[in-house]
Amino acid sequence: MKKLFLLAITPFLFFSAICQALKSPEEFLGYKIGTHYTPHWKIVSYFQYVANTLPATVKLLQYGETNEGRPLLATFIGTADHIQNLESIRMNNIRLASLAKDKMAAVEDGTPAIVWLSYNVHGNETSSSEAAMLTLYDVADSRNTKTQEWLKNTLVVIDPCINPDGRDRYVNWFNSIVGKQYNPRIDAREHREPWPGGRTNHYNFDLNRDWSWQTQVESQQRMKLYNQWLPQVHVDFHEQGINNPYYFAPAAQPYHEAITQWQRDFQVTIGKNNAKYFDANNWLFFTKEVFDLFYPSYGDSYPIFNGGIGMTYEQGGGPAGGLGVYKEEGDTLALTDRVMHHYTTSLSTIEISSLNAARLVKEFHKFFNDAVSNGSGEYKSYVIKNLPQDGERINSMLDLLDKNGIQYSAVSGNGKGYNYNNGKEESFTASTGDVLISAVQPKAVMVKVLFEPKTKLVDSSTYDITAWSLPYVYGLNAYASKDKINPAGAYTRATDPVTTASDVYGYVIRWQGVQTARAVGELLQQGIILRIADKPFEVSGQQFDRGAVIVLKNSNNVFAGSLWNIVTKICNNNHVKLNAVTTGFVDKGYDFGSDNIRVLKAPRVALLTGEGTSSNGAGEVWHFFEKQLNYPLTLINANDAGRADWKNIDVLIMPDGSYRFLNDKSASDDLKQWVMTGGRIIALENAVSQLTRLDWINLKQKKEDDTTDKKDKDIYSALKKFDTRERDNISNTTPGSIFKVDLDNTHPLAFGYPSYYYTLKMDNNIYEFMKDGGWNVGVIKKDNAIAGFVGDKLKTKLKDGLLFGIQYTGRGSVTFLTDNLLFRNFWENGKLMFCNAVFLTGR
Ligand SMILES: [Zn+2]
């Protein structure tokens, strides 16, 4: 009897000593999860608490920090054995992907599958970080026999919040305005989040568009870790509109053709497992709709192109959800429900992955074996030419390849391939500095996805842009070859130019890219007087193109002996070459003392932002000035435009937006007056069409060209079939495609460019050529579509019109940039034109 009693109690004692210490999120925080919003620091506290309580099986890693200083975390949960051997598990996984530099063979047997769960990338889709705490608790708690069984063959990684700054922007706002009880009426203010909303990061960037490009600090730090691990399964947790229930895999069409059958099939397997739990709870969900797998910079497509199963899960909710809200059908959607759904799919995904762990590892291995033996796609090699003015853009492209683990090499000799500039098969000769990117390498699928000239689109109704081929993004000359071209050794980047200050007449800087603009901006801020040549010139045996910036000792006497020290320091820091000149006597072109050599002044730049502007658009400009140009920028709320101190602004940037102040006669007269006296407006995207409403703006929107349609106009074309309505609607749109723009590169707006530019066209706006008082700097002639989906009707409209131009009014100007030159900060070749607009277009 006594013995039996002991037997019965021993497991309990053992159990309580080891485990009872682990508190649930509710016990730790003092409230039921979903009844309050948890600020980020408390989520961090809970994760730290669990890791400290269970050091043998939970390892917390801070992999970075946000713009606003919040920690970014990855939590590894596994068996004690796995956690102890984390580094060898990681190395083995990288060997499975043929990406390890060592020569040790990879092991499939007994290798755990890695399931990586990323929560709250969109900061105002808040239920998922709450669910992350519940998931952590269940997976880590050693009393939970079910999850402990899964961990035997599965390593779980939880990133509780990808976008802490955005989350806290939403949560702090919500907590500050909600009453003692939440109000479920949709018209209550707690369901109307103010500008810019918590979706994006500090600079209003959407982190779920940034996986490949990694322009944001959160992505840069996270993707470094992600690429060191490459999980077999990745889930990105989101929220959608409150009236939608829940979406999970399998994804909608279009699927990128590079996605393998196994990846398609396993999405279905996972989806069915999720459905099992949803059915059991009588919850609604949908699959195979809306969320496609095409654009490569999402948290689902990127993992797929990197050998895993990547998925997006979408719960109804988002910023309109609050703590609870009435849905259209009358039910209340509570945060507690939203949390339960994400928590359920989290566990279900780990479960089904564990049930298929060996297969997941095997297929992951096969994905990379195929990549290194056969490559991906019809093109086997991509050769990028390195022309003298391309150095900076080549380097930023190589940075992008490095970030994504894509290998490249030097190349020499002759080859033939598809010329990206003219679309023809041609022979070419590779020379020193050119880059070879082989499509037969571990990251072959990424190479195909990022480089192939035209991406095959099986279904044209997509969620995002349809073209992003890197040679167009970077404005580089390139060939795609079906031949396997052999590398000519490792690639060595050109060494950075370093100038030692010497006592010369002056220095000339070639106008070539963002680095040049940054150096010039920094020189101007120092008060150094710069000059610019609008025509090419030749001096001291050196040739310079339009836009060359000249620094002379003359006019900068105030700096006395320190001038060249300041100039060389700034240029060296920015990797910008200084070309010494010993005379003002120019052999060809204008002498430096000529009236035709303009003086450049430091413009005082303001950006309209806030309510009424596009938060992404305004954020792109803000981010560009702070992170890339390092140039001061005053942010003015568009609603305060009437109160701006115009006389202390030289350049006003109007991002995409809808500007109410333009409707006010006196405000728009003030704006005109300011331009007349020398002010310069730079209007971006839809701000251009807003300005065309003003009578003093010369630019006019192009009307649909109906002369060609008329004669064969089909009266029955009005009879559309209901069933194909979605498809009919897209014939007048482009979700984002590439057009070739003819540039007048003799105008300062196009300095530093060849006679063309590849633009990302995302709307149907095109403008008539300006006849008087303006310059048509960038135009589309005929049908210049290069890549991506363009609706049939739009194709006929998007020709023979203006996309980039400038109007001079009084002593000032209005620059029209109708396409986004700074798109998501990755459309590298647009940045220089934006810099031209800021620095070079004054008079
Ligand atoms: Zn989202």
pLDDT confidence band for 793 (50 / 70 / 90): confident
- Ligand 1 centroid–CA 124 distance in Å is 8
Residue 702's Cβ-count burial label (10 Å; 0-12, 13-18, 19+) is: middle
- Ligand 1 centroid–CA 688 distance in Å is 29
Nearest residue to 174 (alpha-carbon basis) of 325, 31, 39, 70: 39
- Ligand 1 centroid–CA 122 distance in Å is 5
- Ligand 1 centroid–CA 234 distance in Å is 15
pLDDT confidence band for 1 (50 / 70 / 90): very low
Residues, Cβ < 5 Å to ion ligand 1: 122, 125, 238
- Ligand 1 centroid–CA 293 distance in Å is 15
- Residue 325 in this model has a pLDDT that exceeds 80: yes
- Ligand 1 centroid–CA 314 distance in Å is 7
- Residue 198 in this model has a pLDDT that exceeds 70: yes
Question: Do residues 606 and 555 lie in contact, with contact meaning Cβ atoms separated by under 8 Å?
Answer: no
Q: Give the separation between CA 528 and CA 520, rounded to whole angstroms.
A: 9
**135-168 per-position pLDDT tens digit:** 999 999 999 999 999 999 999 999 999 999 999 9
Average pLDDT over residues 790-810: 89
**617-634 per-position pLDDT tens digit:** 999 999 999 999 999 999
* Rounded (10°) CA dihedral 662, 665, 670, 675: 60
Of 174 and 255, which is predicted with more confidence? 174
Average pLDDT over residues 67-85: 98
- Residue 706 in this model has a pLDDT that exceeds 70: no
- Residue 5 in this model has a pLDDT that exceeds 90: no
Question: Do residues 189 and 40 lie in contact, with contact meaning Cβ atoms separated by under 8 Å?
Answer: no
Q: Give the separation between CA 481 and CA 415, rounded to whole angstroms.
A: 8
pLDDT confidence band for 455 (50 / 70 / 90): confident
- Residue 612 in this model has a pLDDT that exceeds 90: yes
pLDDT confidence band for 460 (50 / 70 / 90): low
Q: Which pair of tokens denotes residue 422?
A: 């003219």
- Residue 355 in this model has a pLDDT that exceeds 70: yes
- Ligand 1 centroid–CA 63 distance in Å is 22
- Ligand 1 centroid–CA 121 distance in Å is 7
b/e burial code for range 322-340 (CB count within 10 A of at least 16 → b): bbbbbbeeeeebbbebbbb
Q: Which helix (H) or strand (E) holds 195?
A: none
pLDDT at position 692, please? Answer: 95
- Ligand 1 centroid–CA 735 distance in Å is 18
Q: Give the separation between CA 704 and CA 817, rounded to whole angstroms.
A: 20
The pTM score is: 0.94
- Residue 819 in this model has a pLDDT that exceeds 80: yes
Q: How many CB atoms lie within 10 A of CB 15?
A: 12
Average pLDDT over residues 450-471: 83
**334-346 per-position pLDDT tens digit:** 999 999 999 999 9
Residue corresponding to tokens 């683990």: 405
- Give bridge partners of residue 636 from the DSSP assignment: 608
**421-446 per-position pLDDT tens digit:** 999 999 999 999 999 999 999 999 99
- Ligand 1 centroid–CA 164 distance in Å is 14
Mean pLDDT of the chain: 93
- Ligand 1 centroid–CA 240 distance in Å is 7
- Ligand 1 centroid–CA 180 distance in Å is 28
pLDDT confidence band for 9 (50 / 70 / 90): very low
- Ligand 1 centroid–CA 397 distance in Å is 28
**What HEC string does 122-133 produce?**
CCCCCHHHHHHH
- Ligand 1 centroid–CA 177 distance in Å is 23
Average pLDDT over residues 64-75: 98
- Ligand 1 centroid–CA 128 distance in Å is 10
- Ligand 1 centroid–CA 208 distance in Å is 7
Using a pLDDT cut of 90, give the percent of the chain over it: 84
- Residue 13 in this model has a pLDDT that exceeds 50: no
- Ligand 1 centroid–CA 614 distance in Å is 18
Q: Which residues contact 319 (CB under 8 A, 6 or more apart)?
A: 124, 125, 170, 191, 193, 197, 198, 199
DSSP assignment of 352-370: HHHHTHHHHHHHHHHHHHH
Secondary structure (3-state) at 2: helix
- Ligand 1 centroid–CA 253 distance in Å is 18
- Ligand 1 centroid–CA 238 distance in Å is 4
Q: Which pair of tokens denotes residue 28?
A: 């730790």
What single-letter amino acid sits at 561?
G
pLDDT confidence band for 735 (50 / 70 / 90): confident
- Ligand 1 centroid–CA 113 distance in Å is 26
For the chain, how big is the Rg over CA atoms in Å?
Answer: 29
- Ligand 1 centroid–CA 211 distance in Å is 14
- Ligand 1 centroid–CA 125 distance in Å is 6
